[in-house]
Amino acid sequence: MKVLVPVKRVLDYNLKVRVKPDQSGVDLSNLKMSMNPFCEIAVEEAVRLKEKGAATEIVAVSIGPDQAQETIRTALAMGADRGILVKADAEMEPLAVAKILEAVVAEEAPGLVILGKQAIDDDSNQTGQMLAALLDWPQATFASQITLDGGKATVVREVDGGLQTVAVELPAVVTTDLRLNEPRYASLPNIMKAKKKPIDLKTPADYGVDAAPRLQVVKVTEPPKRQGGAKVKTVDELVDKLKNEAGVL
């Protein structure tokens, strides 16, 4: 069974986000970009399925600028077999990404698509759900455990207040949550081997997808600065502050 893993290039999660002075977006100039952490978890899960013999081939696909090839190379170094870069310089919205992925699925016929539950740049948490809807495939989102058995996947999902176990028929779309696994670091020999693995270059037009944006970003702002904490000397003072300052009593 082939597994398709969409991987997104995003601002490295260790970096502090800086909003552009004109509030039109986030400043990405000269900053380190990396694979979206939830996509790393998706690649790791696909590689584990291959190691268990449940998957035969892993295809990593990224939609983004030329540099997204580096993200695909990271997936190849972790154990993916080949890559597809769909070149798009403009910021791609989840619907456009989902439509391109739908076309990639039609071409590649995977038994499973594993995506991240969300990209940490746009925090959309939409692409997997939209892809499942476009394909009319079952979906299991926020997976913290995936077990394949015959033509079925049993997925433990992280939901508010607990865990939900669902069974879906394959082919299906699964999105990863944080606790699904701990992604491996690519070893140096695997990084070298990944350089020889093939990456197909495509464009949204090759798939007949109109990737024009449907959304307009009105403005992007920093979150409000947190007020510093203060120590109170007495319970009375605490009650007074809760009543009169915080307004919670």
Min dist CB 98 to ligand AMP, Å, is 8
Exposure class string for 107-136: b at 16+ Cβ within 10 A, else e: ebebbbbbbbbbbbbbeebbbbbbbbebbe
- Alpha-carbon distance of 249 to 231, in angstroms, equals 19
Min dist CB 10 to ligand AMP, Å, is 9
**Torsion angles phi and psi, residue 50, rounded to 5:** -70, -40
Residue nearest to ligand AMP (CB): 116
Min dist CB 119 to ligand AMP, Å, is 4
Min dist CB 187 to ligand AMP, Å, is 24
- DSSP tally for the chain: helices H, then strands E: 6, 11
Binding site for ligand AMP (CB under 6 A): 6-8, 36, 38-39, 42, 62-64, 92, 94, 97, 115-116, 118-119, 122, 124-128
Pick the closer one to ligand AMP by CB: 26 or 192. 26
- For 207, which DSSP code? G
91 near 220, Cβ under 8 Å? no
Pick the closer one to ligand AMP by CB: 8 or 50. 8
Q: Which helix (H) or strand (E) holds 61?
A: strand 57-64
Pick the closer one to ligand AMP by CB: 124 or 147. 124
Pick the closer one to ligand AMP by CB: 77 or 95. 95
